[in-house]
Amino acid sequence: MTAMVLAENKLLQEIVQNVEQNNIAVAVEKIRQQAAKFCQLPTSWLLNTADALETKNWSILSESFINMDFIGEDGYFLIVAPYQINRKRQKNVRLSALYGQIHPNDEPSIEQLENLVREKFGTVREGIPINLSFTEIASCGNVRGEAGEAFIVPNGWSFTGGVSGPALNNAKEQQQRFLGRSHKCIRTVFETETANLLLAPLEDEVNSQRYRHMDTQVHEAGHGSGLGLDFKIKQKLLPDYSYRGVEEWRSDSLGFEFAACILPPEEAGKLVAVNFCIRFGLDAHRAGGIEKDVDVYASLISLEHLFKNDAVYITKEGQLALRNLSYPGLLQAVELHRAKALSLTRRELNLKNPTGIFSLYHIDIHPSTQSVLQGLVRERCQGIWTELQ
């Protein structure tokens, strides 16, 4: 790495630090200073960022973000803007900054996924959101560390006006979560052989990043199927945690279906394993609980379908276990997920009035499933995730 690049990296990290310390005038000066040089970031994006910081008119960043013109040479990017997260049903908006480098990973392609959506549903109502995996170099605000988001959705930024633009998947933070507390949770909730099967793709030093990227991209294809997540948000069709939880579960399950279509069963099953590590090692333990949190509710629906499909059972030790301990077996374990999500999506496309989603997005949960998630999953791991927001 040349001295010029090292100096630029240092300056960009200082800008993030200035934003964190609320030294906005200093940050603006340094951004303009950097824009005046030949650098790894697009000049127009830097100048618009400086203007937005001074005027609070964040919309001037929108078009460049949607078109991914904020990414510079070798994948480097800097985003400075307010970002919103939701915790315990409360909105939290903070000025945030993120400096990182995008990974060159385009598998599966958006074209391939859109063709699958047309094949399954006859139409693509919305473009499939693009997922970009990246390595974080510096960050602050609501996109930093465990207190922030590892998967940074486009509609969280103040300048998108919806969900347009790429989702950003923080590979470094995801890895820390997966191989830290989430790893402990999976080994606590599931019996040993099941836990080994679920964790192996994330422990694969060569392919773990690829598996995480593919899992999030097929999930985004799920959001783009049917009426589309953007449309649902704009029409206020997902008014509370339960509707949004169904939407998350639907997208997970369609992701399994798409993975089964484009990958061999062994590889598709590994994406299911990654999803289960997220849902049962991380999302199920969020502080809002079953009656407040979107991701906890999505995990609950997933567990309900696993029991209905007779894919898991409870051991004498009170742990969950898969009946078929193989990756093709994992793909079979979510057959009911896939069938129900396909049916649900086709039904929403046939609604005469979109508000029919309010009755369509109601999934009955057996009381025993709720007890299992609360007792054998959440309470058993309380000491591991006590600080999770």
Q: What is the pLDDT of residue 3?
A: 62
What does the block give as tokens for 153? 């959705």
CA distances from 353 to 173, 215, 224 (A): 41, 32, 19
Q: What is the pLDDT of residue 152?
A: 87
Q: What is the pLDDT of residue 372?
A: 96
Q: What is the pLDDT of residue 193?
A: 98
CA distance 77 to 256: 31
Q: What is the pLDDT of residue 23?
A: 92
pLDDT in tens, 150-206: 778 888 888 866 557 888 888 877 777 677 788 899 999 999 999 999 999 998 888
All residues at 6 or more sequence positions from 359 whose CB lies less than 8 Å from its CB, including other chains: none
* Alpha helices (H) along the chain: 3-20, 24-35, 43-55, 62-66, 110-121, 171-178, 181-189, 192-203, 208-224, 229-234, 241-262, 265-281, 294-308, 327-333, 335-349, 357-360, 367-372
Average pLDDT over the chain reads 89
Q: What percent of the chain has pLDDT over 90?
A: 64
CA distance 375 to 389: 20
Q: What is the pLDDT of residue 387?
A: 47
Rg for the chain (alpha carbons), in Å?
Answer: 21
Nearest CA among 247, 91, 186 for reference residue 381: 186
Ordered by start, the domain boundaries in the chain are: 1-102+131-165, 171-389
pLDDT in tens, 118-134: 999 999 988 888 888 88
Q: What is the pLDDT of residue 154?
A: 86
Which positions of the chain have pLDDT values less than 70? 1-5, 38, 87-90, 145-148, 160-163, 177, 385-389
